[in-house]
Amino acid sequence: MNNPFENSAFDMTSLTASLNLLPNMYGKLESLKLFPQKSVRTRNICVEEKNGVLNLLPTQMPGSPATLGTQGKRKMRSFTIPHIPHDDVILPEEVQGIRAFGSETELQAMANVVTDHLQTMRNKHAITLEHLRMGALKGYILDSDGSTLYNLYDEFEIAPKVVSFALGTTTTDVKRKCLEVVRHVEDNLRGEFMSGIHCLVSPEFFDALTSHSKVKEAYELWQEGSALRNDMRTGFTFAGITFEEYRGQATDMNGNVRRFIAANEGHCFPTGTAETFVTYFAPADFNETVNTLGLPMYAKQCPRKFDRGTDLHTQSNPLPMCLRPGVLVKVAI
pLDDT of residue 10: 84
Secondary element (H or E) of residue 268 = strand 265-271
> What pLDDT score was predicted for residue 57?
60
In a domain, 56, yes or no: no
Instruction: State the pLDDT confidence band at 266, using cuts at 50, 70 and 90.
Output: very high
Mean pLDDT of 27-48: 90
**pLDDT score for 27:** 80
Asked if residue 66 belongs to a domain, the reply is: no
- The pLDDT tens digits for 103-157 are 556 677 788 889 999 999 999 999 999 999 999 999 999 999 889 999 999 999 9
Q: Which tens digits make up the pLDDT trace of 290-321? A: 999 999 999 999 999 988 889 999 999 999 99
- Domain-located, residue 249: yes
| Burial grade of 145 (CB within 10 A; 0-12, 13-18, 19 or more) | exposed
Residue 65: partners with Cβ closer than 8 Å, 6 or more residues away: none
The one-letter code for the residue type at 160 is: P
Domain enclosing residue 121, as ranges: 4-49+76-332
- Could you report the per-residue pLDDT of 159-188, keeping only the tens digit for each? 999 999 999 999 999 999 999 999 999 999
Tens-digit pLDDT profile for residues 84-117? 999 999 998 887 766 544 555 667 778 888 999 9
- Give domain status of residue 59, yes or no: no
Helices (H), 56-150: 92-95, 106-138
Q: How many CA atoms lie within 13 A of 275 on its CB side?
A: 7
- Read off the CATH number of the domain in which 243 is found: 3.90.1690
Pinpoint the alpha helices (H) of the chain: 12-21, 28-31, 92-95, 106-138, 152-155, 174-187, 203-210, 213-221, 226-229
pLDDT above 90 as % of the chain: 62
| Helix 12-21 / helix 106-138 crossing angle, nearest 10 deg | 60
State the pLDDT confidence band at 72, using cuts at 50, 70 and 90: low
Choice among 5-19, 60-74, 114-128, 154-168 with the minimum mean pLDDT: 60-74
**Confidence class of residue 48 from pLDDT cuts 50, 70 and 90?**
confident
Contacts of 283 (CB under 8 A, 6+ apart): 41, 289, 290, 291, 292, 293, 294, 295, 317
Q: Which residue has the higher pLDDT, 55 or 209?
A: 209
* Residue 207 lies inside a defined structural domain of this protein: yes
Reported as a single tens digit per residue, the pLDDT across 185-201 is 999 998 899 999 999 99
Whether 317 is covered by a domain: the verdict is yes
Cα gap 161→322, rounded to integer Å: 15
Quickly state the pLDDT bin for 282 (edges 50, 70, 90). very high
Instruction: With beta carbons less than 8 A apart as the criterion, state whether 212 and 172 touch.
Output: yes
pTM: 0.87
Residue 268 domain-assigned (yes or no): yes
For the chain, the domain total comes to 1
> Please, which residues have CB within 8 angstroms of residue 103's CB and are 6 or more apart in sequence?
none
Q: How confident is the model at residue 229 (pLDDT cuts 50, 70, 90)?
A: very low
User: Considering the domain boundaries, does residue 55 fall inside one?
Assistant: no
CA–CA gap between residue 7 and residue 196 (Å, rounded): 50
**What is the rounded average pLDDT for all residues in the chain?**
87
Per-residue pLDDT tens over the stretch 244-255: 999 999 988 888
**Is residue 68 over pLDDT 60?**
yes
